[in-house]
Amino acid sequence: MPRSLIGTPKADLDTPALCLDIEAVEANIRRMANALRDSPVRLRPHAKTHKSPILAQMQLAAGAIGITCAKLGEAEVLAAAGIKDILIANQIIGTGKIARLVNLAAYTDVMVAVDDAANVAELDAASQAKGVRLRVLIEVDIGMARCGVFPGEPTLALAQRVVASPGLRFEGVMGYEGHTIFLKDPEERRQKTEASVKLLVDTADLLRRRCIPVPIVSSGGTGTYFITGRYPGVTEIQAGSYITMDGQYREEVGIDFAYGLTVLATVVSARDPDRAEIDAGLKTLTRDFGLPKVIDPPGWELVGLSEEHGHLRRAGGAPLKPGDKVEIVPNHGCTTINLHDEYHVIRRGMLEAVWPIAARGKIG
């Protein structure tokens, strides 16, 4: 976007435009930082949501101890922006990716998750060949049934392998209670989250009893940070979506951080007073957690998405006409952001900056 457009009113932006309400984002960053400020639990926020080194640096400035990411490519982007302490909360598999990882470890404090003895051996060999000592967390499956070694003795056995590997440095354990985050009943969510996190903390205690230090016990997402972040024995929280918030977390789960991310679209057709078509479809918005929500104008709802169009239905609002602007909150920020190349940074209704989404598309 040309620099001459800086200062443009938000309503005059060309569309579709991914908009970042920077005041809401700043408030969300402060709120999460304040929630953990007097706690022994530190924040290592997940950058897979925003994919932006600028936003990551803002989180670090507010007190985060490091940054979490999902993919090696994201970690490389963060490292290129000068961020040193990075957790890749995933397994890195394959000769090519492992070579990239140990190269990254030569100039950052990168950590990586492991859950397999063969992978541990490969990481150890590559690290020794590179002359680095790679930091490692063991991922523990605490109920999500995705990745991770089982709690207790299986984790102990893998930890002993890591400790015996000269090219690796065992840092601790991590686990994600993602299977509890979207439980709507608050008490059920609390009970099941605590039961899951207990598996992680108990496993860390088992390792300590076997004379293996466990500095890091990492867990927690936006939907459970206020539960996991208070559980004795947890040292880090990996929450990510709080920074921009999305419809699923706020409307379905009741996590009341401010909406910082919206998509601005334009009505391109309105043949019927009860219907309208906008220029934002599946290439602009995702529907993996349900259809996004129209927040402006009131009285309209998004009822469908095709490739290039969003289909709106009137639910009490005034009729729309071609050229009218519509503002939409994504139901899932992480996957929506990954469709876009840049943020339109809005402050007090005006375009303040355009930031590249530098880790967009970094899926490997």
Mean pLDDT of 98-119: 98
d(C-alpha 140, C-alpha 207), whole Å: 13
Mean pLDDT of 76-84: 97
Q: Where are the domains of the chain?
A: 3-18+256-356, 24-244
- Report the topology of domain 3-18+256-356: Lyase, Ornithine Decarboxylase; Chain A, domain 1 (2.40.37)
**Does the pLDDT value for residue 1 go beyond 90?**
no
**Does the pLDDT value for residue 208 go beyond 70?**
yes
pLDDT digits (tens, 9 = 90+) for 267-305: 999 999 999 999 999 999 999 989 999 999 999 999 999
3-state secondary structure 213-226: CCCEEEECCCCCHH
Taking only Cα atoms into account, the Rg of the chain, rounded to an integer number of angstroms, comes to 22
- Give pLDDT, residue 47: 98
Residue 4: band (very low, low, confident or very high) from pLDDT cuts 50, 70, 90:
low
Give 3's Cβ-side CA count (13 Å radius): 0
Superfamily of domain 24-244: Alanine racemase (3.20.20.10)
Evaluate if pTM is beyond 0.85: yes
Residue 5: band (very low, low, confident or very high) from pLDDT cuts 50, 70, 90:
confident
Mean pLDDT of the chain: 96
- Residue 253, class by beta-carbon neighbours within 10 Å (0-12 exposed, 13-18 middle, 19+ buried)? middle
Higher pLDDT: 40 or 184? It is: 40
Mean pLDDT of 89-103: 98
3-state secondary structure 288-324: ECECCEEEECCCEEEEEECCCCEEEEECCCCCCCCCC
pLDDT digits (tens, 9 = 90+) for 46-68: 999 999 999 999 999 999 999 99
- 3-state SS assignment for residue 259: coil
**Does the pLDDT value for residue 118 go beyond 90?**
yes
- The DSSP secondary structure of 159-176, one letter per residue, reads HHHHHT-TTEEEEEEE--
- Give pLDDT, residue 3: 59
pLDDT digits (tens, 9 = 90+) for 247-274: 999 988 889 999 999 999 999 999 999 9
DSSP for residue 106 = T
- Give pLDDT, residue 182: 87
pLDDT digits (tens, 9 = 90+) for 132-165: 999 999 999 999 999 999 999 999 999 999 999 9
